Amino acid sequence: MKWFKIDNQFLEENQTIQKVKVNGKSFCLIKTDKKLFACATKCPHAGADISQGWLENEMIVCPLHRYRYHLENGRGATGQGDYLPVYDIEKRKDGYYIKLPYSWLKKLLNI
Ligand code: FES
């Protein structure tokens, strides 16, 4: 795992859900009144772009078949039995950082 800084330009944009790139990897950045969240862009159900979805009751809703996933842990709504990958975000003095999983680093570093 490694932390990467999120470009401040993304944080300043007035969008609740947006697709952003850090070191060549896309993910969804989600801004709520309380917190920032990050998750995968590809829905685990059938691969739709979940950044085109919307929020309902602390969950992100996929636009294709309306599956729902908890922002905190990625767990699918009752009966779905699936998970959306979510990523840790940390606030530091100079901005926000996202923790990328090792599988991403392997691709980035070509190892
Ligand atoms: S592709 Fe997201 S709910 Fe089906």
- pTM of the prediction? 0.88
> Length of the chain in residues, anyone?
111
* d(C-alpha 4, C-alpha 27), whole Å: 13
pLDDT at 105: 60
Residue carrying the six token digits 């995968």: 40
Q: Which atom of ligand 1 is nearest to the CA of 62?
A: 2
Q: Which atom of ligand 1 is nearest to the CA of 63?
A: 2
* d(C-alpha 46, C-alpha 9), whole Å: 30
Ligand 1 binding pocket, CB closer than 6 Å: 43, 45-48, 62, 64-65, 67
Closest residue (by CA) to atom 1 of ligand 1? 46
* d(C-alpha 69, C-alpha 22), whole Å: 23
Burial of 90-108, coded b for 16+ CB within 10 Å and e otherwise, reads eeeeeebbbebeeebeeee
pLDDT at 38: 95
Q: Which atom of ligand 1 is nearest to the CA of 48?
A: 1
Q: How far is the centre of ligand 1, averaged over its atoms, from the C-alpha of 82 (Å)?
A: 11
Q: How far is the centre of ligand 1, averaged over its atoms, from the C-alpha of 69 (Å)?
A: 11
- Delineate the domains of the chain, giving CATH numbers in brackets: 2-109 (2.102.10.10)
Residues with Cβ < 8 Å from 68, sequence gap 6 or more?
Answer: 56, 59, 60, 61, 62, 76, 77, 80
How many C-alpha atoms does 105 have within 13 Å on its Cβ side?
9
Per-residue pLDDT of the chain (111 residues; tens, 9 = 90+): 789 999 888 888 889 999 998 877 889 999 998 899 999 999 999 999 999 999 999 999 999 999 999 999 999 999 999 999 999 999 999 999 999 876 666 665 554
Phi, psi of 79 (to 5 degrees): 95, -15
Q: How far is the centre of ligand 1, averaged over its atoms, from the C-alpha of 68 (Å)?
A: 9
